[in-house]
Amino acid sequence: MSVEIAIIGDNFMRSTAFKEALQTTLKQDTTFHWMDLPFPDEPITQKSTEPDLSNIKEFQGKPSDVIALARNAQILVTHIAPITTAVLNELSHLELLAVSRGGPVNVDINTATQNNVKIVNTPGRNASAVAEFTIGALIAETRNISRGHADLMQGKWRGDLYRADAQRDELSTMTVGIIGYAEIGVKVAKLLKAFGSRILVADPYITLSDEDIAYGVEHVELESLLQQSDAVTLHARVSAQTTNMIDRKAIAMMKPGAVLVNTARGPLLDYDALYDALYSKHLSGAMLETFPLEPLPIDSKFLTLPNVTLTPHIAGASKTTVKKAANMIAEEVQLHLAGLPPNNPCN
């Protein structure tokens, strides 16, 4: 009996990448239906007030298009399509929903569970990409790479960036604080070890590995990390406890001249307080990859600051991420068809 699989990809996680991984992995006779959304050329919807969309976030596309494509599918693979109550109630044949992201926030998990639809995801698919990007962000910001580039592209030779008062220490001599020590934070620390950085970690839910202890990684309270670090990088998950955790009080604790990097999520950080700290030069710089509102508005006050590096939420984007995610999805589908437990269940 043929298994019907619907794939909704986009211009990052292309449907062809999913299809190729599935065809390589699956042993069953399979029929595919697929489509691609315009992300990232068009931004996702962060949150909607429409009743059927109000309990999901970070999605793109129309529920009606999902239903039309996947009406007879036993398996639906997607990255950011909106999987709402209405969608799940229409897809009466659906058994498995495979979501290619760290958290299936674009899915109505309660309805899926009530409808006996299993949800799986791909945690850690972009951990290496984000960790490498974080190191690049630290170097770009602390060594004035982005400012030198931007001004030179405008025909301005920034010889003043060679001045002693424009420079910071090298990573090899810096204390770097990592807030949140799950898969990405651990990989950031591993890369920092190659530079010889002193590494502090704040995360109440972890225990340091033997390798970390041997290197000298220090597990400290958040306040101590903020007070000691020359650079602080955020890698915590967003929760009720971590929302706005780097607020005005926390920023005031940071060393004068320190640098802050956020490649995690906007809600972790009080951006108004950060702006004030950068404007006053309490912090010498920041590298921001995520924001409270995306895309960043063209009138954002951060665009007026000379001491920030800004990127459009691209830290997790790499060809390696795509391959990892597609292969993880294919393995989950094969496990489901074989009647075996999933690697990464979400319900």
Give the model confidence (pLDDT) of 84-133 as tens digits: 999 999 999 999 999 999 889 999 999 999 999 999 999 999 999 999 99
The answer to whether the beta carbons of residues 77 and 5 sit under 8 Å apart is yes
Are residues 134 and 118 both part of a single domain?
Answer: no
**Helix/strand/coil percent split, the chain, to 5:** 40, 20, 40
Residue 344 domain-assigned? Answer: no
Confidence of residue 208 (pLDDT cuts 50, 70, 90): very high
Provide CB contacts within 8 A for 312, sequence distance 6+.
294, 295, 296
Confidence of residue 167 (pLDDT cuts 50, 70, 90): confident
Are residues 169 and 253 both part of a single domain?
Answer: yes
pLDDT of 293 higher than 90: no
Alpha-carbon gap, residue 170 to 209, rounded angstroms = 26
Q: Which residues are catalytic?
A: 265, 294, 313
Residue range(s) defining the domain that contains residue 301 = 127-310
Are residues 142 and 271 both part of a single domain?
Answer: yes
- Opening angle at CA 19, ends 13 and 23, nearest 5: 145
Alpha-carbon gap, residue 37 to 80, rounded angstroms = 9
Q: Residue 59: its pLDDT value, please?
A: 97
Of the two residues 52 and 227, the one the predictor is more confident about is 227
pLDDT of 1 higher than 80: no
Residue 289 domain-assigned? Answer: yes
Which strands sit side by side in the sheet containing 118-120, from one edge to the other?
30-36, 3-9, 75-78, 96-99, 118-120
Alpha-carbon gap, residue 201 to 313, rounded angstroms = 24
pLDDT of 140 higher than 80: yes
Q: Which two tokens stand for residue 181?
A: 């020590």
**Dihedral sign, CA of 296, 302, 304, 305?**
negative
Residue 191 domain-assigned? Answer: yes
User: DSSP 3-state assignment of 160?
Assistant: helix
Q: Residue 253: its pLDDT value, please?
A: 98
Confidence of residue 7 (pLDDT cuts 50, 70, 90): very high
Tens-place pLDDT, residues 171-198: 999 999 999 999 999 999 999 999 999 9
Are residues 87 and 228 both part of a single domain?
Answer: no
Exposed, middle or buried, 338 (CB in 10 Å: 0-12/13-18/19+)?
exposed
Are residues 323 and 265 both part of a single domain?
Answer: no
* Beta bridge partner(s), residue 327: none
Q: Residue 294: its pLDDT value, please?
A: 87
Q: Residue 166: its pLDDT value, please?
A: 87
Confidence of residue 341 (pLDDT cuts 50, 70, 90): very high
pLDDT of 61 higher than 90: yes
Confidence of residue 335 (pLDDT cuts 50, 70, 90): very high
Alpha-carbon gap, residue 248 to 95, rounded angstroms = 47
Mean predicted lDDT score pLDDT of the chain: 96
Provide CB contacts within 8 A for 221, sequence distance 6+.
202
Residue 147 domain-assigned? Answer: yes
Q: Residue 101: its pLDDT value, please?
A: 94
> What is the domain-level CATH number for residue 16?
3.40.50.720
Q: Residue 206: its pLDDT value, please?
A: 95
Confidence of residue 28 (pLDDT cuts 50, 70, 90): confident
Are residues 188 and 280 both part of a single domain?
Answer: yes
Tens-place pLDDT, residues 226-249: 999 999 999 999 899 999 999 999
Residue range 304-311: mean pLDDT, rounded? 95
The answer to whether the beta carbons of residues 148 and 133 sit under 8 Å apart is no
Alpha-carbon gap, residue 140 to 335, rounded angstroms = 42
Provide CB contacts within 8 A for 127, sequence distance 6+.
183, 184, 187
Residue 343 domain-assigned? Answer: no
Q: Residue 42: its pLDDT value, please?
A: 92
Q: Residue 46: its pLDDT value, please?
A: 87
Residue 346 domain-assigned? Answer: no
Are residues 294 and 259 both part of a single domain?
Answer: yes
Residue entry with tokens 């489901």: 336
Distance of CA 248 to the CA centre of its chain: 24
Residue range 52-62: mean pLDDT, rounded? 94
Are residues 60 and 173 both part of a single domain?
Answer: no
Element (H, E) at 165: none
Are residues 139 and 284 both part of a single domain?
Answer: yes
Q: Residue 27: its pLDDT value, please?
A: 85
Are residues 131 and 48 both part of a single domain?
Answer: no
Are residues 239 and 301 both part of a single domain?
Answer: yes
Total count of domains within the chain:
2
Are residues 51 and 150 both part of a single domain?
Answer: no
Element (H, E) at 218: strand 218-219
Q: Residue 99: its pLDDT value, please?
A: 98
Q: Considering the entire predicted model, what is its pTM?
A: 0.91
Q: Residue 145: its pLDDT value, please?
A: 94
Write down the H helix ranges in the chain: 15-25, 63-70, 85-90, 109-114, 127-142, 145-153, 183-195, 210-215, 222-228, 248-253, 271-279, 319-337
- Per-residue DSSP letters for 279-338? HTTSEEEEEES--SSSSPPTT-GGGG-SSEEE--S-TT--HHHHHHHHHHHHHHHHHHHT
